[in-house]
Amino acid sequence: MTADEATRNWDTIAEGWAERVRTNTDQNRTMVLDPAHLRLIGDVAGMAVLDAGCGEGRFARMLAERGAKVKGIDLSQTMIDLARSEEAARPLGIEFAQTDMADLSAFADETFDLAIAYVSLIDVERYELAVKEVARALKERGRFVFSLVHPCFMTPDATWEPTRPGTIPLMDEDKLYRKVDHYRPARPYRFRMWPTAPAETLNYHRPLTDYAGACRDAGLFIRDIIEPMPDAEILAQRPWLNDYVRAPYFIIFDCVKAP
Protein backbone atom coordinates (compact mmCIF):
# COMPACT_ATOMS: atom_id res chain seq x y z
CA MET A 1 0.00 0.00 0.00
CA THR A 2 1.46 3.37 -1.03
CA ALA A 3 1.02 6.62 0.89
CA ASP A 4 -1.53 7.75 -1.71
CA GLU A 5 -3.47 4.52 -1.25
CA ALA A 6 -3.37 4.97 2.51
CA THR A 7 -4.80 8.47 2.17
CA ARG A 8 -7.56 7.25 -0.14
CA ASN A 9 -8.40 4.53 2.35
CA TRP A 10 -8.70 7.08 5.15
CA ASP A 11 -11.06 9.01 2.87
CA THR A 12 -13.06 5.80 2.44
CA ILE A 13 -13.46 5.11 6.15
CA ALA A 14 -13.78 8.76 7.23
CA GLU A 15 -17.55 8.88 7.69
CA GLY A 16 -17.63 5.61 9.62
CA TRP A 17 -14.72 6.76 11.76
CA ALA A 18 -16.42 10.09 12.47
CA GLU A 19 -19.57 8.30 13.59
CA ARG A 20 -17.59 6.06 15.95
CA VAL A 21 -15.62 8.79 17.68
CA ARG A 22 -18.44 11.34 17.75
CA THR A 23 -20.76 8.86 19.47
CA ASN A 24 -18.07 7.90 22.00
CA THR A 25 -17.96 4.34 20.70
CA ASP A 26 -14.16 4.28 21.03
CA GLN A 27 -13.59 3.79 24.76
CA ASN A 28 -9.84 3.91 24.27
CA ARG A 29 -10.29 7.61 23.62
CA THR A 30 -13.05 8.55 26.04
CA MET A 31 -11.81 6.57 29.05
CA VAL A 32 -8.04 6.53 28.58
CA LEU A 33 -6.51 8.85 26.00
CA ASP A 34 -8.71 11.92 26.37
CA PRO A 35 -8.22 12.29 30.15
CA ALA A 36 -4.49 11.57 29.89
CA HIS A 37 -3.93 14.10 27.11
CA LEU A 38 -5.98 16.82 28.79
CA ARG A 39 -4.25 16.36 32.16
CA LEU A 40 -0.83 16.44 30.53
CA ILE A 41 -1.56 19.45 28.33
CA GLY A 42 -3.11 21.51 31.10
CA ASP A 43 -4.53 25.00 30.60
CA VAL A 44 -4.61 25.92 26.90
CA ALA A 45 -6.65 29.13 27.13
CA GLY A 46 -5.32 31.70 24.68
CA MET A 47 -2.71 29.36 23.22
CA ALA A 48 -2.06 28.94 19.50
CA VAL A 49 -2.39 25.19 19.01
CA LEU A 50 -1.72 22.91 16.04
CA ASP A 51 -3.67 19.65 15.93
CA ALA A 52 -1.51 17.62 13.52
CA GLY A 53 -3.47 14.72 12.07
CA CYS A 54 -6.74 16.10 13.41
CA GLY A 55 -9.00 13.66 11.57
CA GLU A 56 -12.64 14.75 11.74
CA GLY A 57 -11.78 17.39 14.34
CA ARG A 58 -12.99 15.86 17.59
CA PHE A 59 -9.96 16.62 19.77
CA ALA A 60 -9.42 20.00 18.08
CA ARG A 61 -12.90 20.91 19.27
CA MET A 62 -12.12 19.78 22.81
CA LEU A 63 -9.09 22.10 22.81
CA ALA A 64 -11.06 25.00 21.34
CA GLU A 65 -13.78 24.53 23.96
CA ARG A 66 -11.04 25.06 26.55
CA GLY A 67 -10.05 28.39 25.01
CA ALA A 68 -7.30 27.43 22.56
CA LYS A 69 -6.92 29.02 19.13
CA VAL A 70 -6.72 25.85 17.07
CA LYS A 71 -5.60 25.03 13.57
CA GLY A 72 -6.20 21.44 12.49
CA ILE A 73 -4.53 19.64 9.62
CA ASP A 74 -5.00 16.21 8.11
CA LEU A 75 -3.90 14.45 4.94
CA SER A 76 -7.43 13.17 4.27
CA GLN A 77 -9.60 15.73 2.49
CA THR A 78 -12.74 13.87 3.54
CA MET A 79 -11.73 14.13 7.19
CA ILE A 80 -11.15 17.86 6.75
CA ASP A 81 -14.54 18.24 5.05
CA LEU A 82 -16.19 16.51 8.02
CA ALA A 83 -14.31 18.74 10.45
CA ARG A 84 -15.32 21.88 8.56
CA SER A 85 -18.95 20.78 8.48
CA GLU A 86 -18.98 20.37 12.24
CA GLU A 87 -17.25 23.74 12.65
CA ALA A 88 -19.89 25.37 10.44
CA ALA A 89 -22.66 23.81 12.54
CA ARG A 90 -21.08 24.68 15.91
CA PRO A 91 -18.48 27.43 15.38
CA LEU A 92 -15.49 27.49 17.72
CA GLY A 93 -13.11 29.47 15.51
CA ILE A 94 -11.08 26.44 14.36
CA GLU A 95 -9.35 26.57 10.99
CA PHE A 96 -8.94 23.25 9.17
CA ALA A 97 -6.72 22.51 6.18
CA GLN A 98 -5.75 19.48 4.12
CA THR A 99 -1.99 19.35 4.72
CA ASP A 100 0.79 16.78 5.06
CA MET A 101 2.29 16.76 8.55
CA ALA A 102 5.70 16.41 6.90
CA ASP A 103 5.18 19.69 5.01
CA LEU A 104 3.98 22.53 7.23
CA SER A 105 5.23 25.23 4.86
CA ALA A 106 1.84 26.95 5.19
CA PHE A 107 2.88 27.94 8.73
CA ALA A 108 5.69 30.35 9.58
CA ASP A 109 8.46 29.54 12.02
CA GLU A 110 7.50 29.86 15.69
CA THR A 111 3.75 30.06 15.10
CA PHE A 112 2.41 27.72 17.80
CA ASP A 113 2.62 27.46 21.57
CA LEU A 114 1.58 23.81 21.47
CA ALA A 115 1.33 21.06 18.88
CA ILE A 116 -0.62 17.82 19.34
CA ALA A 117 -0.39 14.60 17.36
CA TYR A 118 -3.08 12.41 18.91
CA VAL A 119 -2.19 8.87 17.73
CA SER A 120 -1.46 10.31 14.27
CA LEU A 121 2.34 10.19 13.91
CA ILE A 122 2.08 6.41 13.44
CA ASP A 123 0.23 7.16 10.17
CA VAL A 124 3.08 9.27 8.78
CA GLU A 125 5.71 7.65 6.58
CA ARG A 126 8.12 10.60 6.75
CA TYR A 127 7.83 10.89 10.52
CA GLU A 128 11.32 12.36 11.08
CA LEU A 129 10.56 15.22 8.72
CA ALA A 130 7.16 15.67 10.35
CA VAL A 131 8.75 16.04 13.79
CA LYS A 132 11.24 18.60 12.40
CA GLU A 133 8.42 20.54 10.75
CA VAL A 134 6.41 20.59 13.96
CA ALA A 135 9.48 21.77 15.90
CA ARG A 136 10.12 24.54 13.36
CA ALA A 137 6.55 25.78 13.68
CA LEU A 138 6.73 25.82 17.50
CA LYS A 139 7.71 28.88 19.47
CA GLU A 140 10.80 28.71 21.66
CA ARG A 141 9.95 26.50 24.64
CA GLY A 142 6.75 25.43 22.89
CA ARG A 143 5.51 21.91 23.51
CA PHE A 144 4.89 18.95 21.24
CA VAL A 145 2.68 16.28 22.79
CA PHE A 146 2.25 13.16 20.70
CA SER A 147 0.75 9.77 21.42
CA LEU A 148 1.40 6.40 19.82
CA VAL A 149 0.13 2.88 19.92
CA HIS A 150 2.71 1.50 22.35
CA PRO A 151 5.41 -0.10 20.18
CA CYS A 152 6.73 -2.29 23.00
CA PHE A 153 3.47 -4.13 23.66
CA MET A 154 1.43 -3.54 20.50
CA THR A 155 3.74 -4.93 17.84
CA PRO A 156 1.83 -5.87 14.67
CA ASP A 157 1.71 -9.57 15.58
CA ALA A 158 1.21 -9.25 19.36
CA THR A 159 -1.70 -11.27 20.81
CA TRP A 160 -3.10 -12.39 24.14
CA GLU A 161 -2.41 -16.03 24.97
CA PRO A 162 -5.67 -17.57 26.29
CA THR A 163 -5.87 -19.28 29.66
CA ARG A 164 -7.70 -22.12 27.90
CA PRO A 165 -6.00 -23.18 24.65
CA GLY A 166 -8.17 -22.88 21.57
CA THR A 167 -10.44 -20.15 22.97
CA ILE A 168 -10.58 -16.44 22.11
CA PRO A 169 -9.57 -14.40 25.19
CA LEU A 170 -12.06 -11.55 25.60
CA MET A 171 -12.21 -10.81 29.33
CA ASP A 172 -9.24 -10.21 31.61
CA GLU A 173 -9.56 -13.62 33.27
CA ASP A 174 -9.41 -15.28 29.83
CA LYS A 175 -5.93 -13.84 29.16
CA LEU A 176 -2.86 -15.69 30.37
CA TYR A 177 -0.21 -13.25 29.12
CA ARG A 178 0.50 -10.98 26.17
CA LYS A 179 2.73 -12.49 23.47
CA VAL A 180 5.06 -9.87 21.98
CA ASP A 181 7.63 -10.54 19.28
CA HIS A 182 9.38 -8.88 16.34
CA TYR A 183 9.85 -5.51 18.02
CA ARG A 184 12.31 -4.82 15.24
CA PRO A 185 12.53 -3.93 12.41
CA ALA A 186 10.44 -0.82 11.87
CA ARG A 187 7.82 -1.60 9.26
CA PRO A 188 4.42 -0.64 7.88
CA TYR A 189 1.43 -2.84 8.59
CA ARG A 190 -2.19 -2.98 7.50
CA PHE A 191 -5.28 -3.53 9.60
CA ARG A 192 -8.95 -2.57 9.81
CA MET A 193 -9.93 0.08 12.34
CA TRP A 194 -13.06 -1.94 13.11
CA PRO A 195 -14.05 -5.39 11.79
CA THR A 196 -16.46 -4.10 9.12
CA ALA A 197 -14.44 -1.05 8.05
CA PRO A 198 -14.70 -0.66 4.25
CA ALA A 199 -10.93 -0.33 3.77
CA GLU A 200 -7.66 -1.15 5.49
CA THR A 201 -5.55 1.43 7.29
CA LEU A 202 -1.76 1.75 6.98
CA ASN A 203 0.25 2.37 10.17
CA TYR A 204 3.96 2.25 10.88
CA HIS A 205 5.45 0.24 13.72
CA ARG A 206 8.71 1.78 14.96
CA PRO A 207 10.86 1.15 18.06
CA LEU A 208 10.94 3.85 20.71
CA THR A 209 14.52 4.75 19.82
CA ASP A 210 13.34 5.96 16.40
CA TYR A 211 10.95 8.48 17.95
CA ALA A 212 13.49 9.54 20.58
CA GLY A 213 16.06 10.12 17.84
CA ALA A 214 13.61 12.12 15.74
CA CYS A 215 12.89 14.39 18.72
CA ARG A 216 16.61 14.85 19.48
CA ASP A 217 17.43 15.70 15.87
CA ALA A 218 14.58 18.24 15.77
CA GLY A 219 15.81 20.04 18.90
CA LEU A 220 13.05 18.71 21.15
CA PHE A 221 13.71 17.62 24.71
CA ILE A 222 11.54 14.76 25.99
CA ARG A 223 10.52 15.99 29.42
CA ASP A 224 7.98 13.32 30.29
CA ILE A 225 6.57 10.01 29.07
CA ILE A 226 3.11 8.81 30.09
CA GLU A 227 1.68 5.30 29.66
CA PRO A 228 -2.01 6.10 30.23
CA MET A 229 -4.42 3.80 31.98
CA PRO A 230 -8.01 4.14 33.19
CA ASP A 231 -8.54 5.50 36.69
CA ALA A 232 -9.50 3.16 39.53
CA GLU A 233 -13.22 3.92 39.33
CA ILE A 234 -13.40 3.07 35.62
CA LEU A 235 -11.37 -0.12 36.16
CA ALA A 236 -13.77 -1.20 38.89
CA GLN A 237 -16.75 -0.68 36.57
CA ARG A 238 -15.14 -2.13 33.44
CA PRO A 239 -12.70 -4.90 34.38
CA TRP A 240 -11.95 -5.71 30.76
CA LEU A 241 -9.91 -2.48 30.68
CA ASN A 242 -7.40 -4.11 33.03
CA ASP A 243 -5.44 -4.84 29.84
CA TYR A 244 -3.97 -1.36 30.26
CA VAL A 245 -2.48 -2.34 33.62
CA ARG A 246 -0.99 -5.55 32.29
CA ALA A 247 0.39 -4.21 28.99
CA PRO A 248 -0.09 -0.51 28.11
CA TYR A 249 -1.78 0.10 24.77
CA PHE A 250 -0.55 3.67 24.34
CA ILE A 251 2.35 5.96 25.17
CA ILE A 252 2.42 9.76 25.24
CA PHE A 253 5.55 11.91 24.79
CA ASP A 254 5.69 15.43 26.24
CA CYS A 255 8.43 17.38 24.47
CA VAL A 256 9.63 20.97 24.68
CA LYS A 257 11.48 22.96 22.01
CA ALA A 258 14.98 23.82 23.14
CA PRO A 259 15.78 27.54 23.42
Show me where the domains of the chain are located: 3-152+190-257
> In which band, very low, low, confident or very high, does the pLDDT at 241 lie, cut at 50, 70 and 90?
confident
Check whether domain 3-152+190-257 has CATH 1.20.120.1200, yes or no: no
Q: Which of 195, 194, 191, 215 is nearest to 203 (CA)?
A: 191
Q: Is the pLDDT of residue 70 over 80?
A: yes
Span 158-168, pLDDT tens digits: 999 999 999 99
DSSP, collapsed to helix, strand or coil, labels residue 8 as helix
Instruction: Give mean pLDDT, residues 208-217.
Output: 98
Q: What residues are paired with 71 via a beta bridge?
A: 50, 95
pLDDT number for residue 72: 98
Q: How large is the greatest C-alpha to C-alpha distance in the chain, in angstroms?
A: 57
Model confidence over 103-128: pLDDT tens digits?
Answer: 999 999 999 999 999 999 999 999 99
The Cα 136–Cα 140 span in angstroms is 9
The average confidence (pLDDT) of the chain is 94
What pLDDT sits at residue 209?
Answer: 97
Closest CA to 119 of 52, 198, 213: 52
61 vs 39: CA distance, rounded Å: 16
pTM: 0.94
Q: Is the dihedral of CA 154, 250, 15, 133 positive or negative?
A: negative
- Whether the CB-CB separation of 121 and 130 falls below 8 Å is answered with yes
